[in-house]
Structure 1
Amino acid sequence: MSSFAFTDAVRVGQIGVGRWGRNLLRNFAALDAAEVVAVCDPSDPALAEAARLAPGARAVPNALGVLGDDTVEAVVVATETPLHVEMAEAALRAGKHVFVEKPLAQTVDEAERLVRLAEEHDRRLMVGHLLRYHPAFRHVEEIAAEGALGDIRYLYSVRVNLGVVRQQENAFDSLAPHDLAVARAFLGDAVAVTAQGRAILQEGIEDVVFATVEHAGGALAHLHCSWLDPHKVRRTTWVGSRQMAVVDDMEPAEKVRVYDKGVDTVEGATDLAGALAVRTGDIAVPRIPAAEPLRLECQEFVDAIRENRPPRTDGVDGLEVVRVLEAAKTSLREGRRVEIAR
């Protein structure tokens, strides 16, 4: 366990400065409450980019240079997915707080181990479920908490584009964690999943997946994920008993629309046709404050450390998403509905 005394600025070390890691590094380096002190990556061009983004950070040859540094309070793991658990576990055992890019792990056993380690070492463990910090999704979450949507019957998301094609994870593992985290926030823990997909470009790695996730209260979440699609779509729809909402992240300005639409029950009706009345009201387009979701996510990690509290997307949140990912793999392989055991 490190004996380093925490300062006002959380001293951060980052492992991995790839395509997404560069975005994380840029945002952590811009935070007043954080100081990036060490960065490692096996690629010289990546380290050169890191020097530009965080000029005060030391470039170290491997992860041990970050994990073994007693001045590093928190470690950002931005490696390829198969290395997430190894790096996060080593950091937790070294007494560091840990931010892990999604997904937290590739198996439930691994994710449970990381959650236990974080609890045993009293360290903050956070997962990069970015949409939980997106101002548009936060707005829908807030109005849902106020009861504006009523009971949420189901939600569905479309997350498709052409590329990036992965070789070590399928399209669902790569694209769905954000939406699964959103579904859990609105609908509670998942209890079962049914998934269908096709491996078109590479044997055994699904390029397109359609999954229906059942949640504890009876609501459904349907996810369509693909990296083999002509359009880039990032859209989530909530259907509530009072109102409905849509977040379209590809819209440059009007990202959120709230529809005063639904089907109401008419008391005293004598037949089915008269018992149900379709209601069509106004469409509200709320003003959403401009803020970079990734900056808000990085700030949350630092704030959780300084305030000694669980982050918004903690290790348990990451674990629950991994439970669905693992069940979806079984469903894809065996072609059946898979219950999620706990």
Structure 2
Amino acid sequence: MTAPHARLKVAVVGAGYWGPNLARNFAASTEWQLTAICDMDLARAHRVADPLGPVAAVASLKTLLDTDVDAIAIATPARTHHAIAMEALGAGKHVLVEKPLADSIGRAREMVDAASMSSLVLMTDHTYCYTPAVAKIRELIAEGRLGDLLFVDSTRINLGLVQPDVDVFWDLAPHDLSILDFILPGGLHPDSVSAFGGDPLGTGRSCLGHLMMPLPNSVMAHVQVNWLSPTKIRQLVVGGSERTLVWDDLNPQQRLSIYDRGVNLGRESPAGSRQRAVEQVSYRLGDTWSPALPEREALADMVAEFAGAIRGHRPARTDGHAGLRVLSVLEAASRSLRHAGLAEQPEDMRLVEGLL
């Protein structure tokens, strides 16, 4: 049992692309003591561990779990998340998992259930949900500053690595879906999911694609992802009846812009009439403003939230259920792709969470 004010002990499993970022932020945190880097390639584990001070490099997960570490952070391929997390939860360790939570919703649900049964924290590393910009977007929507939501349009394109085991939807879209889940009141619960993908390189998987998701209250969400674009764009547009918000993640001078611009529709129809309403279109051209945002690394806030959830015996801000909601959309997208874009209903996670 960790003393109330002692640093929590954590180990990072996986020393590939994302593991070093997690390790660096755990090592810099006042909440955590980074004790080990675990990777089957011991030399790679050493390359991450050695510059961070007295941090062990180990090749065996079992050896790691036999120590007094409080938590592990998993940064390995998605297909391995379930097995590693279940072993760690069985050993009484809290678990942080890189996105996506697992490679299927069934395996992810087993992880959520195991953590709940053992009163352990299972957290999904939905990194963008810890950026100041996304926190501000959530706040503006919750306060009604945009009015009624009308549409959400998210673009994530770049000349990226074609992954050997997943398509572009499973690689890039979890970022956008986790953001939508975080900023939308009540989370991400689309009525249906339609996915359209392209494979111009002949890789056997989609390298570019679009997701269309009708949301409750006639809101339409669209996500575009692409591994093949020579230009990099990370942009989110949230349209409301009063204002429209644009987040440009690659513009540090003005990440958020709020536009008091839009379309007004004046409808006139006799009471009780079945005649089509007469629509009078006018355009509103008002001011644009940009809220001031602090500049800090999202992963620093994420690892602090992991510690806060453990110490507070509470779910993390992006808990296992958030991971399940994202996976429900990804699996529906995969089904839609197999059926040439046919709309598919995602599993309703509100039933799982007892909200309906």
TM class, shorter-length: over 0.9
Corresponding position: 1:185 with 2:190? no
Q: CA contact under 8 A between 2:42 and 2:59: conserved in structure 1?
A: no
Displacement of 1:178 in angstroms is 1.3
Displacement of 1:320 in angstroms is 0.6
Displacement of 1:307 in angstroms is 1.5
Q: CA contact under 8 A between 1:77 and 1:99: conserved in structure 2?
A: yes
The SS at the match of 1:339 is coil
> What residue in structure 1 maps to residue 346 of structure 2?
340
The SS at the match of 1:13 is strand
1:17-166 alignment to 2 at 5 Å? 17-69=15-67, 71-166=68-163
- 178-187 or 160-169, which deviates more: 178-187
For the residues of structure 1 that align with 2:10 and 2:262, how far apart are their CA atoms?
A: 48
Question: Structure 1 residues 156 and 6, CA, compared in 2 at 3 Å: closer, same or farther?
Answer: farther
Note the alpha carbon deviations across 1:150-189, whole angstroms, 9 max, x for none. 1111101110111221011111101011111122233332
Displacement of 1:53 in angstroms is 4.2
> What residue in structure 2 maps to residue 201 of structure 1?
201
Give structure 1 stretches of 5+ with no counterpart: none
Identity %: 36
Q: CA contact under 8 A between 1:126 and 1:301: conserved in structure 2?
A: yes
Note the alpha carbon deviations across 1:44-94, whole angstroms, 9 max, x for none. 44223222343222111221122222x111110001111111111111111
> What residue in structure 2 maps to residue 227 of structure 1?
227
Question: Structure 1 residues 147 and 36, CA, compared in 2 at 3 Å: closer, same or farther?
Answer: same
Note the alpha carbon deviations across 1:286-323, whole angstroms, 9 max, x for none. 11111111111111111111121111100000001001
The SS at the match of 2:115 is helix
Corresponding position: 1:315 with 2:320? yes
For the residues of structure 2 that align with 1:139 and 1:122, how far apart are their CA atoms?
A: 31
Q: What is the aligned residue count?
A: 337
1:252-331 alignment to 2 at 5 Å? 252-266=252-266, 272=278, 275-331=280-336
> What residue in structure 2 maps to residue 214 of structure 1?
214
For the residues of structure 2 that align with 1:211 and 1:28, how far apart are their CA atoms?
A: 34
> What residue in structure 1 maps to residue 354 of structure 2?
none
Q: CA contact under 8 A between 2:152 and 2:222: conserved in structure 1?
A: yes
Q: CA contact under 8 A between 1:39 and 1:66: conserved in structure 2?
A: no
The SS at the match of 1:126 is strand
Q: CA contact under 8 A between 1:10 and 1:33: conserved in structure 2?
A: yes
Give me the TM-score of the superposition, normalised by structure 1: 0.93
For the residues of structure 2 that align with 1:139 and 1:45, how far apart are their CA atoms?
A: 41
Give structure 2 stretches of 5+ with no counterpart: 271-276, 349-356
Note the alpha carbon deviations across 1:239-267, whole angstroms, 9 max, x for none. 01111101111113211101111223447
Give me the TM-score of the superposition, normalised by structure 2: 0.90
Question: Structure 1 residues 313 and 150, CA, compared in 2 at 3 Å: closer, same or farther?
Answer: same
